[in-house]
Amino acid sequence: MQVLLIREAPGWLAVDKPAGVVVVPARDEDPEGSLWRTLERERGERLWVVHRIDRETSGVLLLARTEEAHRALSRAFEQGRVEKEYLAFTAGIPEARSVTAPLVVGRRGVVKVVPPGTAGAKTSRTDLAVVRRWTHPEPTALVRCRPHTGRQHQIRVHLASVGAPLLGDPLYGSGPTELAPRLALHAARIVFPRPEGRGTEELSAPMPPDLVALQRALELGDRVPRNLP
């Protein structure tokens, strides 16, 4: 497993997580294959997971190197003092600029939008901004997503709820395709208060090669003449 170190400090480190790697293993998975355990093994130090991103999502992941930093960073996430930005390729072009909807986890981990007041539902909000749109072969968009809460599958469910599910999403979209063989979602940027208490830190991860190739394919497809049979 090749993991790029973005930045490190005495209390924390950030890496560019590759798609297809789980951060923390499920009960039936070998823990040694997780990103968390791999980094501990390679670095020879104990690490604490501060937040998670889906297995098929790439991008910035933050981990703590001390218990004190873990507590401080966890509080920052809980209090909404961490700014996160994702890039998503969607099947369809979302018109909504913000999605606010209660979410509840159903059977087999599938998350659903439910009416306010539903038992077990959690509030959630994601702001959306269309960066680029394509019309051929189908309406598709590159969307900047800013989640203000950190619910399970939040961005995926919110995009699907406004008619623009993620390309390659097997749960809330049409599933993997030749164009998008995996979930087309990338954690591009994070801004968080330094646990040592001196201002904020801003980190970013460039779009990985597979998503760069996806965008190029969409750009090329949009230039195909429409009068061809």
Point out the residues that are catalytic: 54
Alpha-carbon distances of 149 from 110, 113, 157, 158, 205, rounded to whole Å: 18, 14, 13, 12, 21
Residue 112 phi/psi, 5° resolution? -130, 145
Residue 114 CA to residue 123 CA, distance in Å, equals 10
The residue assigned the tokens 């909000």 is 125
Cα end-to-end span (Å), the chain = 45
Three-state secondary-structure class, residue 220: helix
The two beta strands, 12-17 and 185-193, are unpaired
Residue 213 phi/psi, 5° resolution? -65, -40
Radius of gyration of the chain (CA): 18
10 Å CB burial of residue 204 (0-12, 13-18, 19+) is middle
The neighbouring-strand residues paired with 16 are 4, 60
The residue assigned the tokens 């968390």 is 36
